[in-house]
């Protein structure tokens, strides 16, 4: 005889409700994790774009060459 055979009345319903709640929480957590991963990837892409734009602007302004020249002087 297993322990489930001596379960209190309503115990099965309570256990089923807890399992359903746990399953729902797990699904929500997985969805949030997927959303977070996507947002982090988008943020990384935006940072890379920003770095490229700043670099391009520095080249256009002639700043990059003057920084290299200052580094060579020291």
Per-residue pLDDT tens over the stretch 1-36? 455 567 777 889 999 999 999 999 999 999 999 999
Residue of higher predicted confidence among 70 and 10: 10
Whole-number Å distance between alpha carbons of 11 and 16: 9
- Output the pLDDT for position 50: 94
Global pTM reads 0.58
- Output the pLDDT for position 63: 79
Closest of 54, 52, 51 to residue 63, by C-alpha = 54
């Amino acid at each position: 005889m297993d322990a489930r055979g001596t379960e209190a009345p309503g115990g099965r319903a309570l256990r089923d409700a807890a399992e359903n709640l746990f399953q729902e929480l797990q699904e929500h957590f997985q969805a949030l994790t997927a959303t977070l991963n996507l947002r982090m990837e988008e943020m990384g892409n935006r940072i890379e774009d920003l770095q490229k734009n700043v670099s391009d602007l520095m080249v256009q302004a002639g700043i990059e060459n003057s920084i290299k020249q200052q580094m060579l002087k020291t």
